[in-house]
């Protein structure tokens, strides 16, 4: 697991994943890595200007500032919104600076090791920006030969985006926006097969009070369900726009992507398409059109060469939210 430092948490939040991994899978020693702290556009710009003898433009300030650092932002995400006390601290030594590797190097090693040990291609789940996977493929382009597919929660194709902290932009989804260049490189790579789980799909399931009640009841059975409830309860109480907005906007974005990956979402419809990632920036550092930056669009040109993208579109529903197959499977997994 790699935690990028440009999303809704700092890279040091990787320590939380170590704690979770060792709590849920004792003795498994699941490897964890701290991801890149700067998106590829700004990293490339800094390298370009430094090579030309110009002043480093302090990369990381353009996109990351769309995520709040304080209240309910990165700092609180790092602290699990005040719930760190619920997670036992791991005693495992998981980061050794004497044998330091960057996240993209770790990802390369993990893919090679898994392929060598199993003889099978790997599936990668991305629930944030694609920075570290894109960096790994820059360094080792032949890795595509060992990747079965990438399942990625990201993008908005035929629905509005979710950039609530940048309301001028109504087309971008956060995971894509935070590293548009990485998304552009992944979507344009003809050696990749990507299963995209965009807002078009996740919008099919918006949480309601009945879901929260069911999750609270499940929390009486297992630590996992109790933690999930407490985390969502904090988010509900601190959500932008209050509880009413929470029940209009909030879904389980990343678990839905995992459910698609493991075929636990019920009957899902998919559409194959080519994706062109629009980045409203150039290598001179200017935002050309902030209202269209990081828009994810269908590419209709027959000559376009890009990744083979399968987009999740519709989700099997039920009479109530707790009757949705994916919700039943979600609650069952938490109480197993």
- Read off the tokens for 215: 């999750």
* pLDDT given at position 72: 86
295, 309, 285: which is closest to 191 by C-alpha?
A: 309
* pLDDT given at position 290: 73
Based on the number of CB atoms within 10 Å of its own CB, is 65 exposed (0-12), middle (13-18) or buried (19 or more)?
exposed
- Ramachandran quadrant class, 83 (left: phi over 0; alpha: psi -120 to 50; beta: rest): alpha
Q: Cα Rg for the chain, rounded, in angstroms?
A: 20
For residues 68 and 99, give the distance between their C-alpha atoms in angstroms, rounded to a whole number.
33
Average pLDDT along the chain: 91
Over residues 192-214, the mean pLDDT reads 97
Whether the Cβ atoms of residue 229 and residue 219 lie closer than 8 Å to each other: yes
**72 alpha carbon, distance to own chain's centre:** 18
Q: How confident is the model at residue 42 (pLDDT cuts 50, 70, 90)?
A: confident
Checking if the pLDDT of 251 tops 90, the result is: yes
From residue 318, give the alpha-carbon distance in Å to each of 194, 198, 267, 311, 328. Answer: 28, 21, 11, 22, 10
* pLDDT given at position 67: 84
Q: Crossing angle for the helix pair 103-118 and 131-139, nearest 10 degrees?
A: 70
For residues 229 and 218, give the distance between their C-alpha atoms in angstroms, rounded to a whole number.
9
Whether the Cβ atoms of residue 35 and residue 132 lie closer than 8 Å to each other: yes
Q: How confident is the model at residue 230 (pLDDT cuts 50, 70, 90)?
A: very high
For residues 118 and 144, give the distance between their C-alpha atoms in angstroms, rounded to a whole number.
16
Residues 6+ apart with CB under 8 A from 29: 22, 92
Whether the Cβ atoms of residue 173 and residue 296 lie closer than 8 Å to each other: yes
Q: What is the dihedral of CA 66, 153, 293, 281, to 10 degrees?
A: 90
291, 268, 303: which is closest to 170 by C-alpha?
A: 291
For residues 242 and 230, give the distance between their C-alpha atoms in angstroms, rounded to a whole number.
17
Of 54-63, 108-117, 151-160, 192-201, minimum mean pLDDT range: 54-63
For residues 179 and 155, give the distance between their C-alpha atoms in angstroms, rounded to a whole number.
12
| Residue 274: strand, helix, or coil | coil
* pLDDT given at position 91: 93
For residues 228 and 180, give the distance between their C-alpha atoms in angstroms, rounded to a whole number.
30
Tokens 């260049």 sit on residue: 181
For residues 45 and 206, give the distance between their C-alpha atoms in angstroms, rounded to a whole number.
39
Q: What is the pTM of this model?
A: 0.93
């Amino acid at each position: 697991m790699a935690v990028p430092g440009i999303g809704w948490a700092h890279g040091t939040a990787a320590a939380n994943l170590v704690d979770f991994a060792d709590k849920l899978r004792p003795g498994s020693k699941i490897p964890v890595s701290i991801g890149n702290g700067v998106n590829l556009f700004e990293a490339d710009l800094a390298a370009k200007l430094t090579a030309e003898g110009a002043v480093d433009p302090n990369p990381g300030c353009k996109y990351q500032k769309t995520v709040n650092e304080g209240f309910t932002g990165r700092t609180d995400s790092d602290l699990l919104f005040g719930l760190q006390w619920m997670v036992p601290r791991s005693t495992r030594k998981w980061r050794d600076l004497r044998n330091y590797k960057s996240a993209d190097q770790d990802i390369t090693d993990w893919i090679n090791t898994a392929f060598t040990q199993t003889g099978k291609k790997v599936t990668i789940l991305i629930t944030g920006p694609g920075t570290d996977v894109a960096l790994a493929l820059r360094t080792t382009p032949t890795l595509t030969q060992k990747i079965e597919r990438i399942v990625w929660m990201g993008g908005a194709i035929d629905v509005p985006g979710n950039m609530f902290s940048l309301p001028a932009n109504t087309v971008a989804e956060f995971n894509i926006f935070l590293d548009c260049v990485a998304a552009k490189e992944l979507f344009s790579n003809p050696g990749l097969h990507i299963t995209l789980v965009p807002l078009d799909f996740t919008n099919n399931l918006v949480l309601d009070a009945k879901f929260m009640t069911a999750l609270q009841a499940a929390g009486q059975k297992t630590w996992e369900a109790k933690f999930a409830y407490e985390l969502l309860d904090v988010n509900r109480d601190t959500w932008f726009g209050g509880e009413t907005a929470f029940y209009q906007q909030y879904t389980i974005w990343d678990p839905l992507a995992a459910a698609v990956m493991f075929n636990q979402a019920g009957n899902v419809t998919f559409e194959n398409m080519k994706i062109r990632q629009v980045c409203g920036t150039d290598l001179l550092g200017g935002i050309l059109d902030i209202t269209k930056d990081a828009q994810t669009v269908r590419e209709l040109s027959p000559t376009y060469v890009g990744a083979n993208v399968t987009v999740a579109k519709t989700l099997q529903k039920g009479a109530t939210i707790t009757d949705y197959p994916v919700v039943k499977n979600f609650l069952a997994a938490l109480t197993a």
